[in-house]
Chain A
Amino acid sequence: MKFLRNTLDKVKHDFEKGGKYEKFYYAFEALETFAFAPNTTAGNKGVQIRDGIDLKRLMMTVIIAMVPCLIFGIFNVGHQHFLATGQAATMMDKFWVGALQVLPIVIVSYGVGLGVEFVFSMIRRHPVNEGYLVTGMLIPLVMPPDIPLWQVAVATIFAVIIGKEAFGGTGMNVVNIALTARAFLYFAYPTQISGEVWAFLPEGAKTVAGYSGATPLAVAAQSSTDGTNVVAALDSFGAGWAEGIYSFSNLFLGAMPGSIGETSTLMCLIGAFILWATGTGSWKIIVSVFAGAWAMGLLLNGLAVNPYMEMPAHYHLVIGGLAFGAVFMATDPVTAAQTETGKWVYGFLIGLFTVLIRVFNPAYPEGIMLAILLMNVFAPLIDYFVVSANKNRRLKRATV
């Protein structure tokens, strides 16, 4: 550590005003503050709350909350690979195959995203923000395991520039950046991010007899068109090669094909617990997203026109990316509603729209991404109404 400090001190004057590499000062500063806590402190006057928590620590907390999802995701990618090819494999093999598939995506996401951030910080002469730390981890977790790396890179560039820098950088974005990246791929290269892409199968790999890479959402949509019972279709799916893969308990645990980090509701709930315990994420949003999805599910159960609508409401909570979106995407403090009442409305509508899109729009099997992006746009409006309602209430109370 001391060696690093000395080296940094030695080259520091080159980057300061008038130095050789003045242009790269902010890149240097970012590296320095990444390695060492800055030694600047707040002045004696005017600051009431003193705490070491800064943006970087907040971001690291969220990343720690995502670690269970990441680790399980790595295991699951390998697990699905060996399930699909019908080979027996040890735990280590599964982790190994999964890591080879997942880690490159993580590296590309961080490398490209931070590269764009550094370039913009130098052009705009502002310090590099830590905002990308979380986004860089979220992007790989919402990608299918066999996504081409160049697509990850293109999507990351698009999301960081259009989603964030165009609006003024960290904390100014209107929509969630990781979901912008996913939405970009969803519309730009639909073949690599929809259909049977959710389990990693290398070119020319032999699959077991009866194998199908359909996700629970696809199975549910299909059985709805066929007019058969959805739960029965889910329970009987995988007969012969992966018995009971879509049983309710396994849907909850998450050993099933899907995007890398989103399959396991349990791991998302562990993440939610970390976010709640550290006060990083809003539990109100998480709870209300689940509540919204469940309420909409119950409503559809009541109407029950086709088999998909008859699917028990609690199934909606464990299939697809609802849990992951609710815990890590909807709670993004920048794009979510800011007022406490607004958070309930915001989350509830996300859950509601997710189920609505799932059941009624055959073109989009999963709705959480579009629902969150939609509500991101409406979050300021929700806040506006909450604030003006509060004003009216206080005006009535006032006796002037």
Chain B
Amino acid sequence: MSTETAVVKEVKKSEPLFSKKNKKLVTNPLDIDNPITVQVLGICSALAVTTQMKPAFIMALSLTVVTASSNVVISMMRNTIPSRIRIIVQLAIVSLWVTLVSELLKAYVYDVSKQLSVFVGLIITNCIVMGRLEAYAMGNKPWPSFLDGIGNGLGYGMILMIIAFFRELLGGGSIFGYKVFEAVGLDYQGNGLMLLPAGACILVGLVIWVQRSINGYREH
């Protein structure tokens, strides 16, 4: 009898790589559990790096890489980290990945790295990264942790790209540096408010408004 139950347990444990639960880990942060619009984390960088789409894209990519890989590493170490010093261990791991990403950016896309300036370095203290480590990676296996990191990175990146799209389009009349209005022969006067952080803050509010009126999410 006892062996039989052990076998059953074994079957339950190995779930498919993309089970419903695991898929949720990626899709939830895109909508009902979005890091920016629902959890309201990472607002600082969302306001600072979104004047143009290119740096916003690089920033979103960097954060996704950092969150996913630190999630995996912390998840693998989770049973050996003494809980009293876990924050400093997490910080060390995150800073390792951030340094790697930062060096890569400097090597291959120097101009964007210049534009992002301190904000790549500040990923270390980004609430989304630390939040996922604390809330998820410390208690789950590497693969789900990896998916969770990817999901939250994409959720963050999605909002960043939406905001950057409107800021660059309305503020400078271009998309990814391509002058859209000039191309169709319109004389467009840039909206200065969109280039200010205050404009980005209003845009974040509008995105939240639209999102909540679509999915019916309410603050409890």
Contacts and interface: CB of A to CB of B under 8 A. Distances in A.
A189 interface: yes
B205 A184 contact: no
B44 interface: no
Contact of A187 (B189, B196, B205): B196
Contact of B191 (A162, A166, A189): A189
A300 to B, nearest CB: 29
A187 B209 contact: no
B192 A190 contact: yes
B193 A166 contact: no
A188 B199 CA distance: 9
Contacts, number: 19
B202 A187 contact: no
Contacts of A184: 193
A166 B209 contact: yes
Contacts of B196: 187
A304 to B, nearest CB: 35
Interface in B141-169: none
B192 A189 contact: yes
A162 B192 contact: no
A190 B198 CA distance: 15
> Mostly helix, strand, loop or mixed at chain B's interface?
helix
A162 B189 contact: no
Contacts of A166: 205, 209
B191 A188 contact: yes
A188 B192 CA distance: 4
Contacts of B202: 162
Contacts of A190: 192
A162 B205 CA distance: 9
Contacts of A188: 191-194
B108 to A, nearest CB: 36
Interface in B181-220: 189, 191-194, 196, 198-199, 202, 205-206, 209
Contacts of B189: 189
A171 B16 CA distance: 55
Contacts of A189: 189, 191-192
Interface string A168-196: 00000000000000001001111000000
B127 to A, nearest CB: 25
A390 B189 CA distance: 52
Interface string A152-163: 000000000010
Nearest to B189: A189
Interface string A199-223: 0000000000000000000000000
| Interface core residue of B189, B194, B199, B205 (most chain A CB under 10 Å) | B189
A184 B199 CA distance: 10
| Interface core residue of B191, B196, B202 (most chain A CB under 10 Å) | B191
Contacts of A187: 192-193, 196, 198-199
Contacts of B194: 188
Contacts of B205: 162, 166
B186 to A, nearest CB: 13
A278 B191 CA distance: 41
Nearest to B209: A166
Nearest to B171: A188
Question: Which 8 residue pairs across A and B have the least CB separation, nearest first?
Answer: A188-B193, A187-B193, A188-B191, A188-B192, A187-B192, A190-B192, A187-B196, A162-B202
Interface of A: 162, 166, 184, 187-190
Interface of B: 189, 191-194, 196, 198-199, 202, 205-206, 209
Given A162-B202, A184-B193, A189-B191, 13 more contacts: A162-B205, A162-B206, A166-B205, A166-B209, A187-B192, A187-B196, A187-B198, A188-B191, A188-B192, A188-B193, A188-B194, A189-B192, A190-B192
13 contacts: A162-B202, A162-B206, A184-B193, A187-B192, A187-B193, A187-B196, A187-B198, A187-B199, A188-B191, A188-B193, A188-B194, A189-B189, A189-B192
